[in-house]
Chain A
Amino acid sequence: MQTEKYLIRKTSLEKLFNNLIGNGKTVYAPKAKGKVTLFEKVQAFSEINDDYIVTTNSAKSVVFPRVEKVFSYKKTKEKTVIIDAANDVFPDVVVWGTRPCDAAAFIPLTDTFNGDFPDVIYNKRLEKVYLLSFSCSKCDEYCFCTSVNGGPGNTAGSDILFTKLSTGDYLAEVVTEKGKLLVSENSTLFETAPDESKEQNLANVKVVFSKDEIQSKLKSIFENPVWDEKSRACLGCGSCVFVCPVCSCFDLQDEVHGSNGTRLRCWDSCGFGLFTLHTSGHNPRATQGARWRQRIMHKFLYMPDKIKVAGCVGCGRCSRSCPANINILDTVTSL
């Protein structure tokens, strides 16, 4: 679809928000909580914090919740009945305030959950998710979206991208049919596109490495001291993975309530020692270095090779969240 451009007044944004809530949509937006800003369910426009670089958690949980019921069952000695969770009704969800990196992350995420084995629960959630992103007017030293094909004003993955202009009003770029639908439902709020271009209102995110160069280097450094060196401080806590908007490795676990139960798809991490541990005690990724290598290789070599898009959007969340100050940029640029 051809991108459509409109102007939306500062004052109209709140009206748009209220209409979305009024239409019964569940809205997630950045909300300040102590020192951090999190995507959380919000009811009122005033709850939204618009002074953030990126939220601490990503928006992936709207399509890939931390714990997802994939089916439930009822069991007797004679019979087991499965109740398929794909038949559940999933909510209309608006994520308000995704950054271009957050929205871009939905591209590799969706590729991973499709391919030869489409994940119908993921897809059903995604169908009902609207991403209303806001361009970045500032960045910090952890941001590197421009090194991984992204940018502070990129529209890829968003349904609508808002960019704040010098007047305080917003340029609205409507990228998808879903975005168009929201515009048509709120047509009085969207006015003729402004003349001002968005570029001058965007943060200057410097390119620090070449994604293609890293991809090609990674092919020859599977055995390399850099993996142990750069992961020596790693506690194996999994923070980097849980805040990452692209990481989607999971575990399947059963939860039992008497003779009933559910099978759950739960977030997991390649940084955990148990992740690959065989029952025999053998572990193909026995060291934290091997696990850190897997994380980097997966994002910058295996995913670009397999699904033609990197598994990293340069949001910098993993580095900001690491309790041991391990920085993905530091690893990638030292290769």
Chain B
Amino acid sequence: MNSNIYVPYLMRIEKITQEAPGVKTFRLKFENEQEAEDFGFKAGQFGEYSIAGVGESTFCIASSPTRKGYIECTFRQTGKVTSALASAEEGDVVGFRGPYGNTFPIDDWKGKNLLFIAGGIALPPMRCVIWNCLDLRENFKDFTIIYGAKSVEDLVYKHELKEWDERPDVKLVTTVDPGGQTSDWKGEIGFVPSVVEKVAPNAENTIAIVCGPPIMIKFTLPVLEKLGFTDENIFTTLENRMKCGFGKCGRCNVGEKYVCLDGPVFTNAQLKELPAEY
């Protein structure tokens, strides 16, 4: 490989979707057709998104590798780079480096039930896997998605939630924190861990994919364990701060494991081997 690892692909923002207050999705297309053709990624991988003159920011690729010709990212406006991204318009050019990191082992999940549990802005990393698996729906058995956010307006991908809800081959349970409901809210009211307990998915032959804020994960894992899920069958992602994405800048490691190289996807069994450095 003789190319400069720091140079991003140039990508044009084809479409911007306002998902929730402060949360946007960009659909990005390669400026260079050859790059578009050569590019490939797998579910779970991430990249460095940048605005020239401002800097780079790390998030997952939120679209499925089965949907070719573009990638999507969803981010919340929080810091310097995400603020600059948030003020970009359709047609603007942004930078993208990637894909980096490991992937969800979807091929190993054939013939299994899938249980997706997400909280807040952590649905984007999971959306990639959800669509990837839905596009290969015949490979899997029961398909359950439990998604919670602070309030109804904070739920991201509202159109897709509706689409999943209407599909007979998907069971979708949405929930909002107490006080976050609207008068016409038909979903659950309560925190994700207690909703998981209530839904009580069957652990037999089931893979659980859990992404969310640390506090959600902390209280959801014991519920899953109680339901009989083994540590090897629970997958999650870690989100440490990164600069390079390829194991050199030195900040994302958790003990000996680099989130950018060895992750971001880890099983609960792997997490239990790691020190609390995330």
Interface residues of A (CB under 8 A from B): 70-71, 73, 75, 79-80, 82, 84-86, 112-113, 115-121, 222-223, 248-254, 256, 261, 263, 265, 268, 270, 275-280, 282, 284-285, 290, 294, 297-298, 301-302, 305-306
Q: How far is the CA of A256 from the CA of B214 in the complex (A)?
A: 36
Number of A-B contacts (CB under 8 A): 115
Task: Please measure, in the bound complex, the distance between the C-alpha atom of A222 and the C-alpha atom of B256, giving whole angstroms.
Answer: 11
Of the residues B7, B53, B251, contact of A82 by C-beta under 8 Å:
B7
Measured between alpha carbons, how far is A30 from B90 in the docked complex, in Å? 55
Complex CA distance for A276 and B56, rounded to whole angstroms: 15
In the complex, the answer to whether B275 meets A222 with C-beta atoms within 8 Å is: yes
Q: List 6 A-B contacts (CB under 8 A).
A: A80-B95, A82-B7, A117-B5, A121-B4, A222-B275, A276-B251
Interface residue? B6 (CB, 8 A): yes
Measuring CB to CB, which residues of chain B are less than 8 angstroms from any residue of chain A? 1-8, 10, 52-56, 78-79, 82, 93, 95, 214, 239-241, 243-244, 246-256, 261, 275, 277-278
| Least Cβ–Cβ distance between A245 and chain B, in angstroms | 16
- B91 CB to nearest A CB, Å: 9
> Shortest distance in angstroms between A290's beta carbon and chain B's nearest beta carbon?
7
Task: Using known A-B contacts A118-B1, A284-B240, determine if residue A265 contacts B277 with beta carbons closer than 8 Å.
Answer: no
Whether the pair B250, A268 counts as a contact (CB closer than 8 A) is yes
A277 touches B249 (CB 8 A): no
On whether the beta carbons of B240 and A276 are closer than 8 Å, the reply is yes
B278 touches A284 (CB 8 A): yes
One of A70, A73, A252, A305 near B4 (C-beta < 8 A):
A70
**Chain A residues whose CB sits within 8 angstroms of the CB of B3 once the complex forms:** 86, 120
List the A side residues contacting B93 at CB < 8 Å. 79-80
- Enumerate chain A residues within 8 angstroms of B54, measured Cβ to Cβ: 254
Q: How many Å lie between the Cα of A80 and that of B91 in the bound state?
A: 12
Q: In the bound complex, do residue B4 and residue A248 qualify as a contact, i.e. CB atoms below 8 Å apart?
A: no
The interface residues of chain B lying within 8 Å CB-to-CB of A282 are: 214
A253 touches B241 (CB 8 A): no
User: Which chain A residues border B214 with CB–CB below 8 Å?
Assistant: 282
Min CB gap A253→B, angstroms: 7
Q: Which of A265, A268, A301 contacts B6 (CB 8 A)?
A: A265
> In the complex, how many angstroms separate the beta carbon of A131 from the nearest chain B beta carbon?
22
Q: What CA separation (Å) do A127 and B82 show in the bound complex?
A: 38
| A261, B248: Cα distance in complex, Å | 23
Chain A residues, CB < 8 A from B52? 73, 75, 80, 254, 261, 263
CA distance A33 to B112 in the complex (A): 69
Pick from A71, A268, A278: contact of B7, CB under 8 Å: A71
Distance to closest chain A CB from B150 (angstroms): 14
B253 engages A268 (CB within 8 Å): no
